[in-house]
Structures are given as structure tokens and as C-alpha cells.
Structure 1
Amino acid sequence: MTDIADQLSAALNAIADPVSGKGLIDSGRAPAPRFTDGIASVILDVTDINADKRALIEADINRALGAIAGVEKVRVAMTSKRTTRRIIAVGSGKGGVGKSTLSANLAIALARRGLRIGLIDADIYGPSQPRLLSVEDRKPTATEHKKLVPVPTDFGIGMLSMGQLVKPGQAIAWRGPMAGKALGQLIDAEWGDTETLIIDLPPGTGDVQLTMVQKYKPAGAIIVSTPQDLALIDAKRAIHLFEEADVPIIGLVENMAGYECPACGAISNPFGTGGAEAAAEELGFDFLGRIPLDLGIRTASDEGIPPAASNGSGAGAFNAVAGKLTDWIGRSQ
């Protein structure tokens, strides 16, 4: 009996938790299996794991434990804790640094790792997520309590954007209080079992950012910058805002870092290189990675097919950042 129990535990722990990457027992997802009358029973905590990943893990457990001599049947009971929804803010000190592209690809990459992710386009005045995720023709509905219902995308995440609530191309000329109220409607929407919201913030440190840190305090913030000094100066202003609000800085991402000539393959750095990494080291924050200046990323984004969803150009860089964010989420739970 003891030998079978040890084999069951080893087999269960050999299956990786999709969030932390550790074994299911070591990660705290499951205690050691129970074995009685030929039946191996597993209690699995599926908090933060979406339905598709749950089914895959259950199949892995049935296959691994069912292969052990003496096991006649495997039972998997899934449980889920009710937790406060986690908010991850993606910010920058200035516009044009690729923050929205990073947010979209990061959300998709996290969902593909099994996390239940929602994406909010909080750039009230310049929303771009509907185009990036190819949902410009989809409008959110509302519940009987007048809560917005996120628009499903083709990439495993729900999304809400002010761009879905106004006519295409219509200017949004709102003062600060109206912008803050709009942010509240997006965050307080009917997000269902979504556990983590990625919020694509507008550039700068204005009313939307202040409303968020005061009323919807993020669990952490990612700062996006291009390598040049001017962008880094503005990025430090965004960092200062989050630090003043006691929001942890998860790390910095350097975008538009390196351009490969499609004709000769030579790498050039029109915006410089290494600036964000040096700033992260100077300020004592993690450096999460570089996203290249890549024509393929721009083309895919314009077509509404994010690289992270199709393993397209630049997908590896986005997935690397998502991996580090997944590790951070695992440590912060």
C-alpha cells in the first residue's frame, strides 16, 4: 500500500501546475492522493485555471495515475477558492511606446498558459484594443443590473474598451470625472470567473491613473518604455505614481528594441538599446524582457491577429514576458 501511495504521489507531482510550473503537489494545487479499494482520489484546486486547462490536467492525472499497477479507477474532485480579482496595470509615461500591443499579447499569452484573463482598454481617448483583437464589430451587452458584459474574442479572453461604446472614429471629449466613471464601468463589469484583469492604461499620469490607484488598487504594475532617454524619463514618472500609491512594480519591458533588416539580416537600434534594462537595474526592479521593432508585429496587429495567438513574429518575446509575469503571480498569491 505504501509503495502504491508513493508512486501515486510521485506521478501526481510530475504533472506541472500551469501557473507556477511546479509539480501539482509542490505548488499546493493538490495534496497527496488517497488510495482505497483500488481507487485513487485526487482533490485539485483549480483556482486561476480556465476550463480548457482544467480538462487537460484532469486527463493527465487520469492517464498518469491510471497507469500505476493496482489502480483500477481514478477520481478527480476539483475545487476553486473565491478570491479577489487581481488587477495588473500596464502603464507608461508617454504614448507611442507599444503599451497596447504588449497588453493584448500579454493577456493572450497568459490565457494560453491556463489563467482566466480579462483585458480592459482604459485608454479612454485613444482606444486601440478593438482593432488589435479584431472585435471592432462586436458590442458589449448589459445585465439586468446594467453591468457591462465583456466582449468575447477569438483568443480566449474577454475584453472591454471605450472604443466599443462609441461610433468608430468619434472623438471622446470628456473631463476627468467622466473618464474616471467610464473606467469604473469597465472594471466593475460582469467579468464572471475571470481572476486577472490586464488594464491597458492611457499614457501619462492623469485622471484615469489616479482613479485606478485610488479606487481599484492594482496588485502590480508593468512599465513599458522604448530605450531612448526621453521615454525613460517619462517612464520614471509613471513609476513614481505607482510607488506613491504603494502599488508594486512588477518590472520594466523595453519595446522597439532592435530592428532586423529583412534584406541583409543586420541588426540596428534606431531607438537605442538597453536603456530600460539599465533603468530597471538602477531603480532596483526586475527587467521583464525586450520586444523587437518588427514589421511582422506591426502587420499582425493591424490585421487583428496578435502574434502571441498565432506564434507569429515576436511571439517568443511576448511569451517570455508572460512567463515572468506568471512567476510573479505565483509568488504573490
Structure 2
Amino acid sequence: MVGVDQVLEKLSTVIDPDLKKDIVSMGMIKDLELNDNNLKFTLELTTPACPFNVEIEDDVRKAIGELKELKNFDMKVTAKVMEGRSLDADTSMATVKNIIGVASGKGGVGKSTVSLNLALALQQTGAKVGLLDADIYGPSIPLMLGMKSGHMEVEDNKLQPAKYNGLQVVSFGFFAEQSHQAAIYRGPIISGILKQFLVDTNWSDLDYLIVDLPPGTGDIPLTLAQTIPITGILVVTTPQDVASNVAVKAISMFEKLNVPIIGVVENMSHFICPSCNDKHYIFGDGGAQKISEQFKIPFLGEIPLNSGIMSGSDLGKPIMITSPDSPSAIAFRTSAKNIAAQCSILAAKMQDEMKSAETPEDTPKTN
């Protein structure tokens, strides 16, 4: 007769490749029932976007398969995104588990396009996702989503995000009076608008909120970093030295503010020839990889240069929707999974630090 202890011992041999911990100690085994050698439980993964979900599930089945006395085995697989920031310290946004700022050192690297398609890629895994267009000077997300006539309502003194296929979207571009005017505002006003978009919006139970920041190191990135606890910053660059060199400044700023860097994504990384499938590095090679090595931060993906991405953005038809099986969409999906994994790693690290702070010292101090 197989016992519960034997089952848990076998399951504890399964290690989450990202978190480097066994799934039992991580609390990923739920509702375990063992009756007359009939086993049933739920495997609760840390995010539906984990790049190792299939591998973990296969490892669990292999481990349980070694218990030959079992008659039947029934496993349900679910996912619950970990909280990658301190919600106790941010009661104003307690419904958002992870806030990811997307930054770049300079304009022209396709940061908004990357932000949008990563948000859609995360959503397509089953996660609940919001997208905040924080570029008050030049909001572009409504255009990219084909939502130029979109708007946001106010209910109970809270902004209600616009919706795009379930994606919650907030942008200064939804305000009709701003559609044909240049936004000329000083820093304090800009900061106030961003704070309102963050804390006075009815973000409904989000796993991830992607914040598309304007390029550079100005008031808006500073306001985000100083207003609320965030999970971390994703840096977008292109292969050219001029872009990667400027991106370094953004990384340095956030490091000085003690904001975690989730990693770096390289956009317009290469061009895949449609005739021969060869990669052509039009803008150089290895810019993001150099940043990754210099700052010891994860290199999370490379997005190929594709005219469909650009035309889709102009027409309000994101490539994640129109061409979900294209090489570009696959690259966005891979990057999104890697980003979700890094959020889980940061969440696990935060939990360990909280546990350490709560654990009393073994020996009393003596004078």
C-alpha cells in the first residue's frame, strides 16, 4: 500500500527549472487524495506562461509512474501567478500581482510595439493582463490596437479601462480632446497623470500589468519607480551600439533606484529571408547580449525584423492576433514566457526574504 509520504517524497524529486526548488516545498501540489492506491491531486504551476510547464508536468508523471503499486492516477494542472511585488505595501493597487515597466534608453527601438505584443502573448497563455500606455507625450497604443475611437468611462471615481479582446487598456490617447494636439506638460502634471492612471484605475484582478514607458530617464519612469512597488523593468533595445549604449543609462538609473531589472529583449534583431530562411543581421549583432553580460541580467529574447509587425501596428492589427504562427509571434511568445518566469523568480526571492525576516534568530544576542 502506497502512503502519502511516499507520494510526496517522489514528487519532491521534481525541480522547477526556473525556481531551482522542488514542487512540494513550493506548495505546487494541491488537494492531494490517496484512497486504496488511487491517487488524485492538482499541480498548480506558478504562471500559465511558464516556459517549462510541459517539462514539469512530464517530470511529475514520470515520478508518479515509479510508484508501481498505484492503481489509478488523476492529475489536474492549473496555474496561479505569483505576486512579484509587495501588495501589503501597495493597498491602492492590491488587485495587480505584477507590474512590469518596459523601458528603453532612446526612441525608435519599437518599445511600444514590443510592449503591446508581449501583453497579448501573456494574455494568450491564459493570464489576466493590462496594458498602460504611459507615454503621455505621444500615446500610440490606441492606434496600434485600432482603438482610435475608444474611450474610458468613470464609475465610482475610478477610471474603467478600455477593453481589447479581454486586454485591459489605459492610455492618454483615449481622451478625444488630445487626439490632435501636442501634449505640452511640465513634470509635476505628467507625474500626476501617471499616478492617476495607476492608482485611480479599476484594474480588475490582473496577473500582469505592462507599463509602456516613454524613452529615456525622465519624469515618468522616475514616477513609476517611486510611486508604487513594481516587479521590475524590462529593457528593450536594438542590436546597434548606439541603442545599446543608451539603454545602459536606463538600466543604471533603475539600479540606483533599487528597482529590479527583469531582463533585456532585443527588437529588430535580425531579418529572416522568406526564400532561404537565413538570418541576416542588418543592424549589427549582439547588442542585447552585451548588455546582458555587462549587467548580469537575463537575455530574454530576440524579435526578428518583420514588415508585418510595422504595418500591423499602423493598421491596428497586432501580429499576435493576425499572424499567431509567424516567426515574429513565436519570438514574442518565447520572450513573454521568459519574462513570466523571471517574475516568478523575483516573487520566490521576495517570499524567501519575507520568511527570513519573520524567522527569529536561533541564538539570543549577548552584550
| Contact 2:47 2:82 survives alignment (8 Å) | no
Residue among 161, 165, 184 paired with 1:150: 161
Q: Which runs of 5+ in 1 are unaligned?
A: 51-67
Residue 69 of structure 1, CA deviation: 5.7
Specify the alignment match of 1:241 in structure 2: 253
Corresponding letter in the other structure for 2:215? P
Residue among 324, 336, 346 paired with 1:332: 346
| Contact 2:82 2:344 survives alignment (8 Å) | no
Give the whole-Å Cα distance in 2 for the aligned partners of 1:80 and 1:283: 27
Corresponding letter in the other structure for 2:295? L
Give the whole-Å Cα distance in 1 for the aligned partners of 2:202 and 2:212: 18
Give the whole-Å Cα distance in 2 for the aligned partners of 1:325 and 1:78: 16
Specify the alignment match of 1:258 in structure 2: 270
Specify the alignment match of 1:30 in structure 2: 29
| Contact 1:39 1:74 survives alignment (8 Å) | no
1:163 aligns with 2:173: yes
The C-alpha deviation readout for 1:187-211, integer Å capped at 9, x for no partner, is 1111121132111100111111111
Closer, same or farther: CA 74–196 of 1 in aligned 2, 3 Å: closer
Residue 317 of structure 1, CA deviation: 1.0
Q: TM-score scaled by structure 2?
A: 0.72
Corresponding letter in the other structure for 1:185? Q
Give the whole-Å Cα distance in 1 for the aligned partners of 2:78 and 2:290: 47
Residue 308 of structure 1, CA deviation: 2.7
Matches within 5 A, 1:40-59: none
Give the whole-Å Cα distance in 2 for the aligned partners of 1:289 and 1:306: 19
| 1:194 partner SS | coil
Residue 290 of structure 1, CA deviation: 1.1
| Contact 2:2 2:37 survives alignment (8 Å) | no
Specify the alignment match of 2:363 in structure 1: none
Give the whole-Å Cα distance in 1 for the aligned partners of 2:22 and 2:333: 21
Corresponding letter in the other structure for 2:176? V
Mean CA deviation greater in 298-307 or 93-102: 298-307
Closer, same or farther: CA 78–246 of 1 in aligned 2, 3 Å: closer
Specify the alignment match of 2:90 in structure 1: none
Matches within 5 A, 1:225-304: 225-262=237-274, 267-304=279-316
1:175 aligns with 2:186: yes
1:186 aligns with 2:197: yes
1:204 aligns with 2:216: yes
Give the whole-Å Cα distance in 2 for the aligned partners of 1:270 and 1:80: 38
| 2:258 partner SS | coil
Residue 75 of structure 1, CA deviation: 11
Give the whole-Å Cα distance in 2 for the aligned partners of 1:217 and 1:116: 19
Give the whole-Å Cα distance in 1 for the aligned partners of 2:46 and 2:300: 25
Give the whole-Å Cα distance in 2 for the aligned partners of 1:192 and 1:289: 29
| 1:158 partner SS | strand
Residue 6 of structure 1, CA deviation: 7.0
Residue 127 of structure 1, CA deviation: 1.0
Greater relative CO (CA pairs within 8 A, separation 6+):
2
Residue 259 of structure 1, CA deviation: 2.0
Closer, same or farther: CA 74–280 of 1 in aligned 2, 3 Å: closer
Corresponding letter in the other structure for 1:105? N
Closer, same or farther: CA 47–249 of 1 in aligned 2, 3 Å: closer
Specify the alignment match of 1:53 in structure 2: none
| 2:301 partner SS | strand
| 1:276 partner SS | helix
Closer, same or farther: CA 26–114 of 1 in aligned 2, 3 Å: farther
Specify the alignment match of 1:317 in structure 2: 331
| 1:314 partner SS | helix
Give the whole-Å Cα distance in 2 for the aligned partners of 1:191 and 1:178: 22
Closer, same or farther: CA 303–40 of 1 in aligned 2, 3 Å: farther
Mean CA deviation greater in 81-90 or 160-169: 81-90
Closer, same or farther: CA 175–327 of 1 in aligned 2, 3 Å: same
Give the whole-Å Cα distance in 2 for the aligned partners of 1:321 and 1:314: 11
Specify the alignment match of 1:65 in structure 2: none
Closer, same or farther: CA 46–75 of 1 in aligned 2, 3 Å: closer
Closer, same or farther: CA 235–34 of 1 in aligned 2, 3 Å: same
Give the whole-Å Cα distance in 1 for the aligned partners of 2:314 and 2:286: 27
